[in-house]
Amino acid sequence: MLTRHLGTQGLTVSAIGLGCMGMSEFYGHRDDAESTATLLHAVDRGVTFFDTADAYGPHANEVLVGKVLAEVRQRVVIATKFGIVRDPNDPTLRRICGRPDYVRSSCDASLKRLGVETIDLYYLHRVDPQVPIEETVGAMADLVKAGKVRFLGLSEVGPSTLRRAFAVHPISAVQSEYSLWTRDPEEGLLQACRELGVGLVPYSPLGRGFLTGQIRSFEDFEPDDYRRNSPRFQGENFQKNLDLVAKLQDMAAARGCTPSQLALAWVLAQGGDVVPIPGTKRRDRLDENLGALDHVLCPGELDELGGLFPPGAAAGTRYPAAMMALVNR
């Protein structure tokens, strides 16, 4: 397995990580047995980078990841996140919290659920608009000093927020949605990351599964699937985006790979400081995703993909309005 560096503080991970969120909710039914097998298969295939969060489940995903990876703890990097607080009586309700006292209590809770002594990479999941980023990151820095966390990360931040945070403590990674149809990091964030020596971790590099070509109609989503509420999967947007994916399928067929592999190869080609974390809960999809490492794109192919998927090509926003207000802050 190829490896890449995140930041300049010493964090090295597999070139492709595994997003674990869908193993617990958001993308249809849970299958803990298959998810367990997928996690272990990922380790066998050389994946060392596993992404979870306290909000996934909520809490159940950290428990699953920690339990399964316990036997290989020294071989893997576990990243988790805090800051999205879900209502215990109604998990569909959520608020954002970056208060220093919450930083500390969230870390202790995640350590317990994961069953580890130290979290390898600890992210602020979303920026709290009521708390200066300096205060939140200052509390996160205290966790590093206490030995509870090795490296710090931020999720869905803008360039100015990243610079302010970095002035308090080195940031190793920024997680942001990034794919052929979500190009937000190119609007200043990637430049800021490279100026500061911060790695970029793209989540949803396959457009929440849409770029795989496997989703053909709205009815393909299970009743409780999060994507039913996403503007990109609704109404006329669905067909417009399906037309985009058809172009990706044609190019992949001509190249002898799957649409997933072509889409991931494009993300991987954006720089050696970019580590995508495609999510899956199935071993066959994991193997398909890892196959992207065998497809190195030439400049002409990158230009062709850029022409097929220029910034803003996808129809609809990537989140509903309330959630869009919390990204790129």
**Exposed e or buried b for every residue in 12-31, given b needs 16+ CB within 10 A?**
ebbbbbbbbbbbbbbbbebe
Distance CA 323, CA 329 (A): 12
Q: What is the pLDDT of residue 295?
A: 96
Residue 173 counted as domain residue: yes
Question: 254: how many CB neighbours lie within 10 A of its CB?
Answer: 9
Q: What is the pLDDT of residue 55?
A: 96
Three-state DSSP class for residue 63: helix
> pLDDT for 145-177, tens place per residue?
999 999 999 999 999 999 999 999 999 999 999
Please tell me the total count of domains within the chain: 1
Residue 5 counted as domain residue: no
Q: What is the pLDDT of residue 68?
A: 98
Active-site residue among 27, 56, 123, 203?
56
77-82 and 119-124 beta bridge pairing? parallel
Residue 2 counted as domain residue: no
Q: What is the pLDDT of residue 28?
A: 86
Distance CA 264, CA 275 (A): 10
Residue 251 counted as domain residue: yes
> pLDDT for 71-101, tens place per residue?
999 999 999 999 999 988 887 889 999 999 9
Q: What is the pLDDT of residue 89?
A: 85
Residue 279 counted as domain residue: yes
Distance CA 178, CA 312 (A): 12
Check which CATH number belongs to the domain holding 303 and give it: 3.20.20.100
Domain that holds residue 266: 11-324
Three-state DSSP class for residue 279: strand
Residue 87 counted as domain residue: yes
Report whether 180 contacts 305 (CB < 8 A).
yes
Amino acid at the residue 235: G
E-only strand ranges, 29-172: 49-51, 77-82, 84-86, 94-96, 119-124, 149-155
Decide if 27 is catalytic: no
- Of 41, 43, 36, nearest to 14 (Cα)? 43
Q: What is the pLDDT of residue 29?
A: 87
* Residues of the chain falling short of pLDDT 50: none
